[in-house]
Amino acid sequence: MGIACNFSPREIDRELGKYVKHYEKLRTLFGKNFCGIDEVRQAFTLQSERAPLRVPNFVYKPIFKALWDKCHEPDVAIFLSRIEEGTVNVKDWLLMLRTPSFRHQKKDISVTMRALQDYIAPDMLTRNQGKLFYNPNGYYTRDVIDTSDIQVLHWQFVTKKCLKGTLKKAHAKQTTALNAYAKKVGFDPTLTRRRKPLEVVWDFMILLRSHGIRILLGKSDQTDARAWDNSLFHVGIGDEEGLDIDAGLDDEFVADHIGAVLSR
């Protein structure tokens, strides 16, 4: 399946052609777990109002090059080789493009939870996709909803679910399990991390609106982000009632539904 680049062969220089071929290879490999240019555009296309949202000035070459560069980092190259040889299951992983802003009526708007609630959430209801947030005015949600964590355009590999070894584990033991799994699949554990709350929301929204896939159903992804009271944020339970953003738990708290997602 080709990307909607609208490039003629004469317009693609040799270097760009290499990046496009690589992009399409990864898109084919990851299938519906790949969220790139087309998927982000689809997620930001509204039915509920005339003025569309646009991801600002998608300049293709930097996006393709960013993916190329990411995939040619030594540990990522090992990870991808293990996917291709079948020792790592590609179905367990997402490959996500994330952008720091979008445009509406010629105005750049930073991607924050508040912006997604204001612009995307109403359209989700129109399309019968359910709510984006369970309670956007919740006690802890208010603490993080106006912050922006997506600083620059980037690609990230993310486990599709909370790792089994992180469920019902305290925060420190979750981190140990994440590092062990990172090594197992070929990643350098020092270069992996947990998702930020906004990244969890972004991944949930893009996958649902582009491919109709719900992640974190019945589970919550515990992040490293802390609320005003120094408790850890966790985000999840991604059913039609929307994502629940909560905190208030100390580092030793464990629960059957709270685990952690690995990202690189």
- CA geometry: angle 164, 166, 80, nearest 5 deg: 65
Q: Using the CB atoms, write b or e for 121-145: b if 16+ within 10 Å.
A: bebbeeeebbbbbbbbeeebbebbb
60-71 and 74-85 helices cross at what angle (nearest 10)? 80
pLDDT of 26 above 70? yes
pLDDT value of position 34: 97
The encoded tokens of residue 46 equal: 């509204």
Q: How is residue 20 annotated by DSSP?
A: H
Tokens of 264: 């690189």
Q: What are phi and psi of 233, to 5 degrees?
A: -80, 140
pLDDT digits (tens, 9 = 90+) for 173-202: 999 999 999 999 999 999 999 999 999 999
CB 119 within 8 A of CB 126: no
pLDDT value of position 53: 65
Q: Per-residue pLDDT tens for 84-137?
A: 999 999 999 999 999 988 888 778 888 999 999 999 999 999 999 999 999 988
179, 168 Cβ separation under 8 angstroms = no
Pick from 247, 262, 131, 103: nearest CA to 194: 262
pLDDT digits (tens, 9 = 90+) for 38-74: 999 899 988 765 555 666 556 788 899 999 999 999 9
- Contact yes or no for 30/155 (Cβ under 8 A): no
The pTM of the full predicted model, rounded to 2 decimals, is 0.90
DSSP string, 127-188: TT---SBS-TT-TTHHHHTT-----S-EEEEEESS--GGGTT--HHHHHHHHHHHHHHHT--
What's the rounded Cα separation, in Å, for the pair 258 and 261? Answer: 10
Rounded percentage of the chain residues whose pLDDT exceeds 70: 91
Q: Residue 59's Cα: distance from chain center in Å?
A: 20
Cα separation, 120 vs 98, in Å, equals: 16
Pure H helices in 3-86:
14-30, 37-43, 60-71, 74-85
User: Which residue from 129, 207, 219, 218 is spatially nearest to 174, judged by alpha carbons?
Assistant: 219
Per-domain boundaries in the chain: 9-259
Question: How many percent of the chain have pLDDT more than 90?
Answer: 72
CA 239 – CA 9 distance, rounded (Å): 43
Query: Residues 210-229: what's their mean pLDDT?
Result: 94
